[in-house]
Amino acid sequence: MTTDMMLGQRRFIDALVDAVDEDWDRIDLRYACVDAGGESVPTYLAQAVRGGNAEQVHLSADALDALEALQRSRPAGQAEHWTWLEFSIDATGSFRFDYKYGASPAPDAVS
């Protein structure tokens, strides 16, 4: 992974955590930029989970900017940019970014 990607991930995580007011056990996100008439439009579903209950999270402009910057980056060794991602972070700070390629599914559910 490139240094730019690591810094971008940290920037996104900081912006995401700042935007969630309530306590949470885990935050899950599915994110993609879709082409809408020649314009790239971000689409996502983010949920904060606490005790089995999930509440939708609205990403801040800073978080969306960080994701767009990440999308312009490529993981080391990849010939192309990722097209969508799944992200999860738990209350201990353990996180995972799963970068995906190809057509993205509609972000109507977070796995």
Full domain range(s) for residue 23? 3-100
Rounded CA separation 64/88 (Å): 16
Rounded CA separation 94/26 (Å): 10
**Residue 27: its pLDDT value, please?**
96
Q: Is residue 62 part of a domain?
A: yes
What is the block-wise mean pLDDT of the chain (111 residues), using blocks of 10 residues? Answer: 84 92 92 78 90 92 91 75 90 94 64 43
**Residue 111: its pLDDT value, please?**
43
Pairing of strands 53-56, 84-90: unpaired
Q: Is residue 41 part of a domain?
A: yes
Q: How many structural domains is the chain composed of?
A: 1
**Residue 3: its pLDDT value, please?**
80
Q: Is residue 66 part of a domain?
A: yes
**Residue 72: its pLDDT value, please?**
81
**Residue 106: its pLDDT value, please?**
61
Report the CATH number at residue 25. 3.30.500.20
3-state percent helix, strand, coil for the chain, nearest multiple of 5: 25, 35, 40
**Residue 36: its pLDDT value, please?**
73
